[in-house]
A = this chain, B = another copy of it.
């Protein structure tokens, strides 16, 4: 039995150590990881897990909220896979002590699996790993996959568009900042949370958000605005209920299936692009002429556009030779 076959067998038996190993391989984008996931996912039901993305600016108490919400789900007997794409997350060691302790407790539960992506890679790499890790959790049989990101810009769309339900967490006193959300992340949220709702201005923020949602086009689902005080565990049960309600709304329409199609398609495209990148890297290593051309572009002695055309031509020749 090969090492990969052994891991796949252990995954099928629900071995959390084998899961940890698989996730690590997927994070590192290794061939072993792909081979193992391919064998594992082929044998499992697919697309059953509810993927919930939770995002919001730093300082909104998002990590505390995610911790309490996940604890609530875990106590209800749900199996959870948690993915953190956030350097400020307690999972990656960088947050306030209370969150860190809560997360350590959470990680000890037999039905909670945590994977933090704290690599300093490119977004492309992180987004690619995230899609595969979602599928690995799904195959492992978790009920809910939680993706925690810091979503202040538009740059995390790539990650959040793999989620079924996107929760945007904020704090009271948005005021002028509401404007800023219009430009981006606002439209993709399915639920809005005003956390630290005991602070002044909470009701105004809720009203502002509701007005904004009213102005937006909504078909399937009109996003609710919820108030929470994560530190006092207030509003968490309602939040979990609304997330569940959104799942049911999606399942009663095409959206649930559509989201899964988008996620699968994305994994395919990412895999193709990464195979091609390997092809180009191989070419540069083997072909002295191409290596020289790349050096010229680096030095600014050749434009990148013509060079790219010539390298594509060389890739074609390389493929041809292999064919012949």
Interface residues of A (CB under 8 A from B): 34-35, 37-38, 41-42, 46-47, 57-59, 85-88, 92-97, 118-124, 126, 149-150, 152-158, 176-177, 179-185, 260-262, 264-265, 267-269, 271-273, 275-277, 279-280, 294, 297-300, 303-309, 311-312, 316, 319-320, 322-323
CB neighbours of A93 from chain B (8 A): 179, 183
User: Could you tell me if A157 and B272 are in contact, using CB atoms closer than 8 angstroms?
Assistant: no
User: Could you tell me if B264 and A298 are in contact, using CB atoms closer than 8 angstroms?
Assistant: yes
Contact A153-B87, Cβ < 8 Å, known A94-B180, A316-B323? yes
Contact A87-B184, Cβ < 8 Å, known A264-B298, A271-B304, A272-B280? yes
- A contact patch SS: helix
Listed from nearest, the 5 A-B pairs whose CB atoms lie closest are A87-B183, A271-B308, A88-B180, A87-B184, A268-B304
14 pairs across A/B with beta carbons < 8 Å? A38-B306, A42-B303, A57-B57, A57-B58, A57-B59, A59-B59, A87-B181, A92-B183, A93-B179, A94-B179, A97-B176, A123-B154, A271-B307, A320-B320
User: Could you tell me if A46 and B300 are in contact, using CB atoms closer than 8 angstroms?
Assistant: yes
